């Protein structure tokens, strides 16, 4: 059969968004030659939040992105995709709290040195009190604060979780759902922390991973490689940039018209059997015809996000620190996290003599941080680095490039879950419309989750019975390595059995 014969029989899938999730679906169906694939992306680059910008020869990810998954099949998929391009990076992280540096994972010697023996004692007492409240007297866990306190006690919560969480989310922990904690730190308890800190050995749960894989030339290489494969597999497959999807018309089961606008203002339409959306769940209903009821629009509009500004600095010294990440708890420091790309891959800088830093400022469009000019926020970051963290001296930062990204973090407020259900109920009536991805499902996915969801959806389109929406729902701390592979319906190397 010629390629053209095959093309004639292929169903058309239109994918909205060229982030990791959308590209993974396109990649899976392209690999199996089953569908004609058109990916529509509003940006002028692929990768979504996994972008890497290049400025004066320095490469900057949108915040430090590492590759990590407990799913060994997915790791092998990654290694095949990134053959010849991935490297292993040792993880060395620290926490900056109360103007002092703490190693992470926490070491007792370090905590005693920085905070004193009384702090440790107080942390132990408050932990026992919370164990009594939550485990013995079954006090209900109502929000993020309760979830952390139940796991670590009030003192450790206040030292290592409260301030950073509130910086990231922009809300008090009492106004945030406990779900985020159960997704991110269930299984990590005070006991695993104590065992590691005291014995300096690995517990049976090898927590807090120490090595991760990373694409040598920046994280964007993952989506770029997927996009290259999609376009190379068939002449009529395409990944179209600067194509902003503005409307989706449902004519009946597996019959869609997708309208998008290009940079020149021209409107185009694609006809599709299936539509895969990674457009934020809160936005998607507003694009669909027939439109939803007002209560669905209201629920969708109140699914909120946190935005981010990354301040990328060029520093005229060989190395600033040996950290892969530094988490900054103190509220009076404008950024919440920083990383030094050269510590991840030497290819991220153009020469040996200099280095660079990426400082993440969490914010919400329209707030005080967002409204600062690029130069003002960069100057404030440099001041904090010099005066509060002591990591650079005046004059060492020689240039900067500020990058802003909207909708970086889906917020789990106290009533986000029923809102999602209402929106999904409306979307379920459209046969052939699928949602995946971080914004697409309003789920706090890492890139590996979004890719796994996308690959599984690809399998589903190929006719296999897989539950792609089960990805990233299991309550198991995501950095704990041992304990085997995820229990959920996970991506596997071998073809799934059709049931």
Ligand X SMILES: Cc1cc2nc3c(=O)[nH]c(=O)nc-3n(C[C@H](O)[C@H](O)[C@H](O)COP(=O)(O)OP(=O)(O)OC[C@H]3O[C@@H](n4cnc5c(N)ncnc54)[C@H](O)[C@@H]3O)c2cc1C
Closest CA to 310 of 74, 130, 11, 64: 64
Report the Cα–Cα distance between both ends of the chain, in Å, rounded. 28
Q: Does 179 bind ligand X (CB under 6 A)?
A: no
Q: How far is the CB of 212 from ligand X (least distance, A)?
A: 8
Q: How far is the CB of 309 from ligand X (least distance, A)?
A: 10
Q: Which tokens hold the place of 228?
A: 């290259």
Omega before 397 cis (within 30°)?
A: no
Looking at 360, 396, 479, 489, which residue binds ligand X (CB under 6 A)? 360
Looking at 14, 245, 363, 490, which residue binds ligand X (CB under 6 A)? 245
**H-helix segments, 176-291:** 179-185, 190-199, 221-233
How far apart are the C-alpha atoms of 75 and 58, rounded to whole Å? 28
Under rule CB under 6 A, which residues in 391-420 are in contact with ligand X? 408
Q: Find the residue with minimal CB distance to ligand X.
A: 19
Binding-site residue total for ligand X (CB under 6 A)?
A: 35
Q: Does 486 bind ligand X (CB under 6 A)?
A: no
Q: Does 66 bind ligand X (CB under 6 A)?
A: yes
The site map against ligand X for 268-297 (x = CB under 6 A) is ----------xx------------------
Helix (H, G, I), strand (E, B) or coil at 333: coil
Question: What residues contact residue 113 under an 8 Å CB cut-off, 6+ apart?
Answer: none
Under rule CB under 6 A, which residues in 432-471 are in contact with ligand X? 437-440, 445-448, 450
Nearer to ligand X, 154 or 171 (CB): 171
Looking at 189, 244, 254, 345, which residue binds ligand X (CB under 6 A)? 244
Q: How far is the CB of 42 from ligand X (least distance, A)?
A: 4
- For residue 410, what are the β-bridge partners? 305
SS (H, E, C) 107-142: CHHHHHHHHCHHHHHHHHHHHHHHHHHHHHCCCCCC
Nearer to ligand X, 18 or 348 (CB): 18
- DSSP annotation string for 291-313: PPPHHHHHHHHT--EEEEEEEEE
How far apart are the C-alpha atoms of 288 and 300, rounded to whole Å? 13
The site map against ligand X for 138-177 (x = CB under 6 A) is ----------------------------------------
Q: How far is the CB of 390 from ligand X (least distance, A)?
A: 24
Cβ(10)–Cβ(36) below 8 Å: yes
The site map against ligand X for 19-58 (x = CB under 6 A) is xxxx-----------------xxxx----xxx--------
What single-letter DSSP state applies at residue 413? B
Interface region with ligand X, contact rule CB under 6 A, candidates 10-18, 347-355, 374-382, 477-485:
10-18
Nearer to ligand X, 36 or 65 (CB): 65
Angle at alpha carbon of residue 86, lines to 34 and 225, rounded to 5°: 30
Q: How far is the CB of 337 from ligand X (least distance, A)?
A: 8
Q: Which residues bind ligand X (CB under 6 A)?
A: 16-22, 40-43, 48-50, 62-66, 244-245, 278-279, 308, 360, 408, 437-440, 445-448, 450
């Amino acid at each position: 059969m010629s390629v053209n014969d095959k093309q004639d029989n292929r169903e058309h899938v239109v994918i909205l968004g060229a982030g990791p999730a959308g590209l993974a679906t396109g990649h899976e169906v392209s690999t199996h030659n089953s569908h004609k694939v058109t990916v529509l992306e509003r940006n002028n680059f692929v990768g979504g939040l996994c972008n890497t910008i290049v400025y004066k020869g320095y490469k900057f990810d949108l915040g430090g992105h590492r590759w990590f998954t407990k799913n060994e099949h997915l790791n092998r998929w990654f290694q095949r995709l990134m053959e010849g391009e991935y490297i292993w990076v040792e993880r060395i992280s620290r926490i900056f709290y109360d103007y002092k540096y703490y190693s992470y994972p926490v070491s007792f010697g370090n905590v005693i040195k920085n905070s004193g023996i009384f702090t440790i004692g107080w942390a132990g007492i408050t932990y026992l009190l919370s164990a009594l409240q939550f485990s013995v007297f079954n006090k209900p866990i109502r929000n993020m604060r309760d979830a952390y306190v139940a796991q670590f006690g009030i003192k450790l919560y206040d030292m290592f979780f409260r301030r950073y969480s509130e910086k990231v989310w922009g809300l008090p922990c009492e106004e945030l759902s406990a779900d985020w904690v159960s997704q991110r730190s269930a299984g990590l308890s005070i006991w695993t922390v104590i065992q590691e800190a005291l014995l300096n050995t690995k517990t049976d749960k090898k927590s807090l991973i120490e090595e991760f894989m990373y694409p040598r030339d920046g994280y964007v290489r993952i989506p770029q490689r997927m996009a290259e494969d999609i376009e190379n597999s068939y002449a009529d497959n395409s990944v179209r940039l600067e194509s902003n999807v503005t409307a989706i018309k449902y004519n009946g089961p597996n019959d869609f018209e997708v309208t998008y606008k290009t940079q020149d203002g021209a409107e185009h339409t694609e006809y599709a059997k299936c539509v895969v959306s990674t457009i934020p769940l809160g936005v998607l209903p507003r694009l669909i015809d027939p439109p939803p009821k007002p209560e669905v629009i209201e629920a969708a509009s109140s699914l909120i996000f946190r935005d981010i500004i990354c301040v990328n600095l060029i520093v005229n010294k060989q190395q600033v620190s040996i950290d892969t990440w530094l988490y900054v708890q103190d509220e009076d420091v404008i950024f919440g996290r920083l990383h030094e790309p050269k510590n991840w891959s030497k290819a991220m800088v153009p020469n040996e003599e200099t280095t660079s830093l990426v400082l993440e400022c969490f914010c919400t469009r329209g707030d005080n941080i967002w409204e600062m000019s690029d130069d003002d926020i960069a100057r404030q970051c440099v001041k904090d680095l010099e005066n509060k963290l002591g990591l650079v001296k005046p004059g060492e930062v020689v240039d900067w490039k500020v990058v802003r990204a909207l909708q970086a973090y889906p917020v789990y407020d106290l009533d986000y879950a029923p809102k999602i259900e209402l929106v999904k109920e409306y979307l379920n009536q459209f046969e052939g419309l699928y949602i995946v991805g971080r914004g697409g499902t309003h789920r706090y996915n890492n890139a590996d989750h979004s890719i796994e969801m996308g690959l599984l959806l690809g399998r589903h389109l190929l006719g296999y019975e897989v539950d792609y929406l089960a990805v990233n729902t299991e309550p198991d701390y995501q950095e704990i390595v041992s304990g085997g592979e995820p229990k959920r319906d996970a991506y596997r190397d071998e073809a799934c059995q059709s049931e």
